[in-house]
Amino acid sequence: MRIAAFSTLPLALTLCVAVCAATPARAASPTDVAATVCDGKGALPLEVVGSRHFVAVELKGPKGTETVRFHVDSGGNTFGLLLDEAVMKRLGFAKAEALPRTLRIGGRELAVPRATKWLAMKYADPRGEQLASGQIGAGFFGHFLVCIDPGKGHIAFARPEAHPIDDDGRGLALELPRLGPTKAPYPFVHAEVGGQKVLLLFDTGATTSMLERKYLDAIHGAHADWPLVRNAAGDADMLGGRFPERLLRVPSLTVGGRDLGAALFVERPDDTWPKMFGVDEAHGALANDVLGSQRMLIDYKGAHVWLWPSGRAPDASASLTRVGVGLRYGADKCPEVRLVSSGNAPDVAARLQPGDVILAVDGKSVCDGLHHTAATALAGKEGQPKQLRIRRAGATSDVTVTVRDLTRPTTAAP
């Protein structure tokens, strides 16, 4: 009996190890999963600036090592990882296929999924700034359970099988069409704005939500009292004044039956989303004017996203109480006025015009090539004076203009 007892013990232990190893992780509530993933040891540092999200990625190549700022964008490229070709060449890589299969972020190693690819190209912002030299996009996101907390400055990419979620019925359902060479999943959510139903791209990479012209017209037609501004300003100015675009402030946005509060929609040409994504029902995007104040758990495997208030206030650069101008950056890294917004105090239109280059605001230079610097400097309190040093036709002068809430009732924008 004693011999039998000793002989069965190793077998029992062996069986236990095998069974235990095969036992799946226990499902937890979305709140607990978010806490484990977003605040756990696998969380990575996230920088939030100008209503956008960034991570600092250390890349090592044959010619050296660089820490590169990557824009974090759930609505971004299908390959998954994008790098400015100038950085690739500095590191000593001849082609994108040779770039590293491991990202080092905040001292931690993050393996690049096998199906994720690198794309090397000239990486330029439409506003002419050089805010980032890389991008983490949809072809990367879709392989993970992703948690983003702008309030704490955390982002985490976790294996979904390691964190099964016990659905509490409060998540927002996602549609996930798979696109491009990697069949990357792009998240879309069903929403309702002013009685108009729309399908919106869940876009952590955009500063401000967007709607195509026909939908913006329909919503404003039904709610003429909702503020409409002509020409984007602040963080809503994503295209550097390339063409006139209107901004519509809505008091309530409902997504998946849940009221997410006020939102700001920037106008885009009709059929932008069907042309970009091949999704005929999609005609807009839900972006960081709403998502920037939310802690997000994106479950691609289960096709749901959970949102909780993060406690983070909007960036000052996002405020529409400001001197409203669309800006683009030249070789000197100074912002050039491309468009002047409606809703400004009268002295703005009288003293600023397209082509003016803003050199300083209230005595501080804004010539650093970063849009959020100028956008923050031009924001303020209603009625506050701003002293601008401008360059016009080669001559420098000082002008004083007044901050105003651009969404205050004025003559309706056409």
The string of DSSP letters for 260-280 reads: ---EEEEEE-TTHHHHHH--T
C-alpha span between 302 and 321 (Å, rounded): 40
User: Could you tell me what percent of the chain has a pLDDT over 70?
Assistant: 93
Q: 132-173: per-residue pLDDT in tens?
A: 999 999 999 999 999 999 999 999 999 999 999 999 999 999
CB 138 within 8 A of CB 300: no
Q: What is the mean pLDDT of residues 58-76?
A: 97
Pick the closest to residue 75 from 258, 237, 257, 202 (CA basis).
202
Pick the closest to residue 98 from 70, 137, 63, 140 (CA basis).
63
DSSP element (H, E) containing 214: helix 213-222
The CATH homologous superfamily to which domain 319-405 belongs is: PDZ domain (2.30.42.10)
| Region of residue 394 (phi > 0: left; psi between -120 and 50: alpha; otherwise: beta) | left
- What pLDDT was estimated at residue 24? 64
- What pLDDT was estimated at residue 23? 53
Please say if the pLDDT value at position 5 is more than 90: no
User: Higher confidence at residue 412 or residue 77?
Assistant: 77
Around Cβ 183, how many Cβ atoms within 10 Å? 12
The one-letter code for the residue type at 154 is: H
CA angle 72, 144, 112 (to 5 degrees): 75
pTM: 0.91
Around Cβ 224, how many Cβ atoms within 10 Å? 8
**For the chain, first and last CA: distance in Å?**
94
Fold classification of 167-314 (topology level): Cathepsin D, subunit A; domain 1 (2.40.70)
Please say if the pLDDT value at position 12 is more than 90: no
Q: Within a 13 Å sphere around the CA of 121, how many CA atoms are in the beta-carbon half?
A: 10
Please say if the pLDDT value at position 10 is more than 50: no
- What pLDDT was estimated at residue 410? 59
User: Higher confidence at residue 124 or residue 379?
Assistant: 379
Please say if the pLDDT value at position 239 is more than 60: yes
- What's the pLDDT band for 414 if we cut at 50, 70, 90? very low
Candidates 2.40.70.10, 3.40.50.720, 3.10.129.10, 3.30.450.20; CATH matching 38-160: 2.40.70.10
| Region of residue 64 (phi > 0: left; psi between -120 and 50: alpha; otherwise: beta) | left
Q: 18-65: per-residue pLDDT in tens?
A: 334 445 679 999 999 999 999 999 999 999 999 999 999 999 999 999
Same fold, 167-314 and 319-405: no
- What pLDDT was estimated at residue 412? 42
Q: What is the mean pLDDT of residues 272-282?
A: 94
User: Could you tell me what percent of the chain has a pLDDT over 90?
Assistant: 90
Domains of the chain, by residue range, sit at 38-160, 167-314, 319-405
CB 210 within 8 A of CB 266: yes
Q: 335-381: per-residue pLDDT in tens?
A: 999 999 999 999 999 999 999 999 999 999 999 999 999 999 999 99
User: Higher confidence at residue 153 or residue 7?
Assistant: 153
Q: 194-222: per-residue pLDDT in tens?
A: 999 999 999 999 999 999 999 999 999 99
CB 134 within 8 A of CB 82: yes
CA angle 285, 291, 297 (to 5 degrees): 105
Residues 6+ apart with CB under 8 A from 115: 80, 139, 143, 182, 183
Lowest mean pLDDT, pick from 16-20, 184-188, 247-251: 16-20
- What pLDDT was estimated at residue 18? 35
| Region of residue 196 (phi > 0: left; psi between -120 and 50: alpha; otherwise: beta) | beta
- What pLDDT was estimated at residue 11? 34
Around Cβ 266, how many Cβ atoms within 10 Å? 26
- CA distances to 215, 230, 239, 283, 414 from 267, rounded to whole Å, are 9, 10, 11, 11, 13
- What's the pLDDT band for 125 if we cut at 50, 70, 90? confident
